[in-house]
Amino acid sequence: MTQTPDLTSATIVAFIADIFERRGAESYLGEAVTMSEHMLQGAALAEAAGASDTMIAGALLHDIGHYTNEFGDDYIDRGIDNLHEEAGAAVLERFFPTEVTDCIRHHVAAKRYLCATDPAYFARLSQASVDTLRLQGGPMDDSEVAAFARHPNLDAILQVRIWDDEGKVPGMVTPDFAHYAPLLQRIVDAHTGASS
């Protein structure tokens, strides 16, 4: 994993904004949207559904780990799972509550869980999600399903996963990152006890 700067509760949102600004236009694993479009669509879907601030943050940041590791763009072609879910959660866990970081850390596991428990779910996956599923371990087995089902934030994790799957619409109009920055800062301040 690459080294991040000395992040604080006062700088983490600007750090994330800079990632969206500099790297958000990168392709998203063969999808028809960019990385920033995908993450902003997830947040917009959450906001439109009246979700909590923490779930909106989880939907917005679920793929931030694609920017915090050292794997090259061809890692899928090389048969490597970049573990972006763990990388993203590890960077943000000092600043965001568990509901947010669990949605980041477990959104891949949620795909595996839903593939194992919902017969209709697999058919809704994009081709890129089908391709990465193989690298990520495929559908969960019965013991994995039973363990994952006990997760205290299961409902939030699964809902963020659904928005993840739905946030791949070319041309969808969403708010930009600046719209969500105050929400993220409120969550950070509440979690860390900082004041803005």
Cβ atoms of 88 and 138 within 8 Å: the answer is: no
- Helical spans, DSSP H, in the chain: 12-23, 35-48, 53-61, 84-92, 98-105, 107-117, 127-135, 142-148, 154-166, 177-192
Per-residue pLDDT for the chain (196 aa), expressed as one digit of tens each? 444 467 899 999 998 998 889 888 877 767 789 989 999 999 999 999 999 999 999 999 998 887 764 334 444 444 444 567 788 888 888 999 999 999 999 998 999 999 999 989 999 988 888 888 888 889 999 999 999 999 999 999 999 999 999 999 999 999 999 999 999 999 999 999 975 4
CATH number for the domain formed by residue range(s) 12-192: 1.10.3210.10
Residue 65 pLDDT:
85
Cβ atoms of 35 and 23 within 8 Å: the answer is: yes
Write down the pTM of the prediction.
0.86
Residue 166 pLDDT:
95
Residue partners of 34: CB distance under 8 A and separation at least 6: 24, 25, 26, 27, 28
DSSP three-state, residue 34: strand
Rounded Cα–Cα distance for residues 82 and 171 (Å):
27
pLDDT tens by residue, 78-88: 444 456 778 88
Q: Where are the domains of the chain?
A: 12-192
- Which of 103, 24, 19, 106 lies closest to 58 in space, CA to CA? 103
